[in-house]
Structure 1
């Protein structure tokens, strides 16, 4: 029977990150309008709704 050896791994502690930067990076400003695919889908659904009602 072989004996199991425990191997300890030491990790170098990294520099602490600034917690405020993470939130700022996630809030990056982008376009404030709907993508073209969403507009097409909305028009298609409106057309189907009109056809279904009449």
Structure 2
């Protein structure tokens, strides 16, 4: 009498998720603010002007 044996299911490899290609590029960038705001820039220019005028006043008779 013939025995019919069902084949064992093949063990499949569990594939890992693919790596995100944008992560490597983002690690290369420096994070943070893009630059001083308009108010900070005006304040720096104002302080620089005051320093320049102060230096100019020191040399006047």
Q: Same fold (TM over 0.5)?
A: no
TM range (shorter): 0.3 to 0.5
Larger radius of gyration: 2
